[in-house]
Amino acid sequence: MHKPVRKVVIAGGGTAGWMTASLLSKVLQNQVKIQLIESDDIGIVGVGEATIPPIQIFNQYLGLDEKEFLRETKGTIKLGIKFENWRAQGESYYHTFGAPGANLGFCSFQHFWLRANKAGLKDSLWDFDLNYLCCEKGVFNKINTQNPVYEMPYAYHFDSSLYGQYLRKIATKSGVIRTEGLIEEIVTDPESGFIDSLTLKSGECVKGDLFIDCTGFRGLLIRKTLGVKYESWAKYLPADSAFAVPSERFDHTPPYTRSIAHQFGWQWRIPLTHRTGNGIVYSSRYCDEDRALESLMNNLDSDPLDEPRKIQFETGRTSEQWFKNVVAIGLSSGFLEPLESTSIHLIQSAIVRLLKMFPNQGITPAISEHYNEESKQEFETIADFIILHYHVNEREDSDFWQDMRNMTIPQRLQQKIDMFRESAAVFNTNNDIFRDASWLQVMLGQGIKPMDFHPAAKVVSESDLLSIMDKVLTAKRQPLDKMLTHDDFLKRYTHA
């Protein structure tokens, strides 16, 4: 007989803990008791300051007012990421959230664009992307239309610690019990091996039926107590260290994240309304701490506001992210460097997956096995996407980039690259969070040139195709004159 889940205990606060608490309480309401244990004495990693568009769905479901959310978290709009020096030094491209072009028939837009290129078209694929055009001009506005040509998906940059505090207020108002304290002992049932209770330093005993491990890299419940192994992906993604430092905000706030490649890793730059988030991710096998720190501090472009903070990690995942009656969410479930801003999304998708499979009448192997399989697929496809950026490069300036180019990559990723190179085809796999347009932009941006395109792109004559492409370009540029600067939009929108 399986024990019904009537109480959920969340170990750890921060972004992961309070996102979990707020969504569980919203969906389950008073059906399940929710208690969160956190200690203000334990710091949070707090570098997940950039997001991808599904965060809007999360916020909307919670009923958050977007204007208030942006004010509370010092947030800005994110239309994409600018990758600098990744393919080669001095080169850059964007991975935006938009889809270039328009629906022109059976095959995707890139096939028509490739054929038009052969017929003399000089415009890049990005010239057909409204998100890109807005990034380059530093503008943004909401477009009230159902026309897919003007679709402009966006996400946010925000202060993740402020986001956690914002959700904490919402969750505690909706009935989540917050307990301040340090976990000193974890008691397991001798027969089932399930966690029975957590004993706090104060002596308080917190019992539960389902435990959520949001204890960060420590993995206090899932790994340290239940002994679940960690699966390292360092052979594909050798970066293992980072420094993070805030600096003064810029006068003009770009509506995109910057990712700037260095000889041994890369640097992020995230614009918020009160400061700029900066950091450098590197591999200690190729670069020592002093050189990495010097590279970061010499490339801030605004004065630092604090001392740099060191973060060490190992890329990979907890092999079973749901084991017995513990679900790992956030950094306890695994770590993928924040190159594509997926950290907060992995928290969101883990919570949604748990809710879809919520074990009301008891935890069974069938539920946890299915959860683990979906989670594994999601982590692996994100890892593939990150590996793609590193592997397909033309840099000759360091052993790091040459080794990344020459390494053996996962077979699924190799197949994806080969298909695109041969025929410009892009196909998503199960639980891939990135759309075709994302893969397309990064593969083209990293220098993969398709040798052919779909025969359906040859159905129209060259002259008709060039005329169609010109009309799409004109349509994409049409809204730009009515756009506000990003800063003006934020000022008007959040103070309306």
Is residue 82 within a helix (H) or strand (E), and if so which, with residue range?
strand 80-84
Read off the DSSP letter of residue 258.
E
Residue 301, Ramachandran bin (φ over 0: left; ψ between -120 and 50: alpha; else beta): left
Is residue 491 within a helix (H) or strand (E), and if so which, with residue range?
helix 486-494
Q: Is the distance from CB of 258 to CB of 81 less than 8 angstroms?
A: yes
Note if 173 is an active site residue. no
Is residue 136 within a helix (H) or strand (E), and if so which, with residue range?
helix 130-137
Q: Is the distance from CB of 19 to CB of 355 less than 8 angstroms?
A: no
Residue type (1 letter), 486: H
Q: Residue 30 class from Cβ within 10 Å (0-12 exposed, 13-18 middle, 19+ buried)? A: exposed
Structure tokens at 135: 């990034």
Residue type (1 letter), 441: Q
Q: Is the distance from CB of 195 to CB of 324 less than 8 angstroms?
A: yes
Residue type (1 letter), 39: S
From the candidates 7, 33, 78, 416, give the one annotated as an active-site residue.
78
Classify 463 as helix, strand or coil: helix
Read off the DSSP letter of residue 430.
T
Q: Is the distance from CB of 207 to CB of 381 less than 8 angstroms?
A: no
> What is the residue whose two structure tokens read 């810029």?
250
Task: For the chain, give the number of residues.
Answer: 496
Whole-angstrom distance, CA of residue 46 vs CA of residue 277: 11
For 183, phi and psi rounded to 5 degrees? -80, 125
For 120, phi and psi rounded to 5 degrees? 115, 0
Q: Is the distance from CB of 7 to CB of 179 less than 8 angstroms?
A: no
Instruction: Encode 130-166: b = buried (16+ Cβ within 10 Å), e = exposed.
Output: bbbbbbeebbbbeeeeeeebeebbbbbbbbbbbbbbb
For 173, phi and psi rounded to 5 degrees? -65, -30
SS3 of 147-170: the string is CHHHCCCCEEECCHHHHHHHHHHH
- List residues with catalytic annotation: 78
